[in-house]
């Protein structure tokens, strides 16, 4: 074994012992029900290639969206300034040297907040012209990145939690087309937000906004982004929230909203009134649900404690769960966001170790245990 290999082994062993201390978020234990088994995917080790200038590493990868197999968007919470000298055993991301980039805010630098990767994990485009939209943030900043499946222009939506804003960019990143909300000004009306978390797109052009950690509501906007109505409110009652973290759209007007600290999924459906959604039911038993993808007949959710992917049917039955280990070099502290490309490749962003990983279906994997690209009305 070479000296470099020994150093890397020692660093990994030390980090494995320190993983509990790295955890940035605590939550109650989720309920494990239904079949539990191995992951149907293989991780492509060290797929996400470092590109930062010397002395920096990825920040929290909070938003990941696969527009195609060769263009994967990443919204990250700036970069992390590494210690000098960089500790032995550094594997290209801050988590490999025991740093949790979600809590290590003193090392956060607002640069390279938006970029794209190619199929090999190499950086393809750097949207550094928009780093200024994150500068000066005292909080985590970018939270989600989405593209509507119904938009012929493939505009890119970036939700900035800390500044209470949502930005809409041209697909090439050259133009900022629209800013929703007022930077640094929280509010509860139809044009302001309270730590927004996500956006989702209905087939008829309406846009739903998960607003959010402070306002605990799902806003309904028309195709021109005028406010129509909202559902939710703070609480534990039917259709209420303790933080709306992510949204998923499914067939027959189904809308799934993750009740982050409420530990459940609230289910709504569209009505004949474009300004109203009807509460249907909720699926409890989660600790801190993180992100969601809806397929033709099921939903997939990531949950924090224990860290896992879980598949549910539209009645809330748990069909399959696979655990996500924290152990490096392939582990996660938080699968904050996940996305699937048109070929079935899965990508997951880690908001705490600070990187994105690529998951390839195992040979012979059961197709029912694989996550498909999000449902869209054809």
Q: Mean pLDDT for each consecutive 10-residue tract of the chain (378 residues)?
A: 44 46 68 93 98 97 98 98 96 97 96 98 98 94 98 98 98 98 97 98 98 97 98 98 98 98 98 98 97 97 98 98 98 98 98 98 98 97
How many CA atoms lie less than 13 Å away from 288 in the CB half-sphere?
Answer: 17
What are the backbone angles phi and psi of residue 4, rounded to the nearest 5°?
Answer: -65, -40
CA separation for the pair 241, 18 (Å, rounded): 33
Instruction: From the options 1.10.1280.10, 2.120.10.30, 1.10.2020.10, 3.30.450.40, give the CATH code of 3-26+35-369.
Output: 2.120.10.30
* pLDDT score for 303: 98
Residue whose entry in the numeric block shows the structure tokens 């406010």: 227
Question: What b/e string do you get for 356-373 counting C-beta neighbours within 10 Å, with b at 16 or more?
Answer: bbbbebeeebeeebbbbb
* pLDDT score for 28: 83
Question: What b/e string do you get for 312-340 counting C-beta neighbours within 10 Å, with b at 16 or more?
Answer: bebeeebbbbbebebebbebbbbbbbbbb
* pLDDT score for 21: 47
* pLDDT score for 25: 62
pTM score > 0.85 for this model? yes
| 259 sits in which H/E element | strand 254-259
CA separation for the pair 5, 275 (Å, rounded): 60
**Pairing mode, strands 318-323 and 36-37:** parallel
* pLDDT score for 2: 47
* Partners of 66 in the β-ladder: 72
Residue whose entry in the numeric block shows the structure tokens 């509507």: 148
Q: Which tokens hold the place of 218?
A: 């799902």
Enumerate residues 6+ apart whose C-beta is below 8 A from 272.
none
């Amino acid at each position: 074994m070479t000296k470099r290999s020994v150093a890397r082994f020692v660093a990994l062993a030390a980090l494995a012992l320190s993983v509990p201390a790295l955890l940035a978020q605590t939550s109650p234990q989720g309920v494990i029900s239904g079949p539990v088994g191995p992951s149907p995917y293989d991780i492509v080790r060290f797929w996400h290639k470092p590109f930062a200038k010397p002395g920096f590493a990825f920040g929290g990868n909070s938003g990941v969206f696969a527009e195609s197999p060769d263009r994967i968007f990443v919204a990250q919470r700036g970069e992390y300034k590494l210690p000098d000298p960089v500790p032995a055993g550094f594997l290209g991301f801050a988590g490999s040297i025991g740093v949790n980039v979600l809590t290590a805010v003193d090392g956060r630098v607002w640069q390279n907040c938006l970029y794209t990767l190619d199929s090999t994990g190499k950086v393809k485009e750097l949207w550094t012209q928009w780093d200024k939209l994150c500068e000066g943030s005292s909080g985590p900043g970018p939270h989600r990145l989405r593209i509507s499946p119904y938009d012929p222009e493939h505009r890119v939506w970036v939700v900035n939690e800390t500044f209470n804003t949502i930005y809409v960019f041209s697909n090439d990143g050259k133009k900022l087309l629209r800013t929703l909300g007022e930077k640094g000004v929280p509010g509860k009306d139809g044009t302001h937000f309270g730590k927004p978390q996500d956006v989702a797109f209905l087939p008829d052009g309406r846009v739903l906004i998960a607003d959010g950690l402070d306002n605990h509501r799902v806003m309904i906007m028309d195709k021109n982004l005028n406010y129509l109505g909202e559902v939710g409110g703070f609480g534990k009652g039917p259709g209420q929230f303790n933080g709306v973290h992510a949204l998923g759209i499914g067939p027959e007007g189904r809308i799934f909203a993750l009740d982050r600290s409420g530990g459940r999924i609230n289910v709504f459906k569209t009505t004949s009134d474009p300004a109203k959604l009807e509460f249907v039911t909720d699926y409890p038993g989660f600790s801190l649900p993180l992100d969601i993808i809806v397929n033709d007949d099921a939903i997939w959710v990531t949950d924090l404690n224990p860290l896992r992917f879980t598949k549910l049917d539209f009645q809330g039955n748990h069909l399959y769960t696979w655990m996500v280990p924290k152990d490096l070099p392939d582990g996660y502290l938080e699968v904050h966001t996940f996305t699937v490309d048109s070929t079935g490749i899965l990508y997951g962003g880690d908001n705490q170790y600070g990187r994105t990983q690529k998951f390839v279906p195992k040979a012979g994997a059961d197709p029912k245990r694989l996550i498909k690209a999000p449902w869209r009305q054809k």
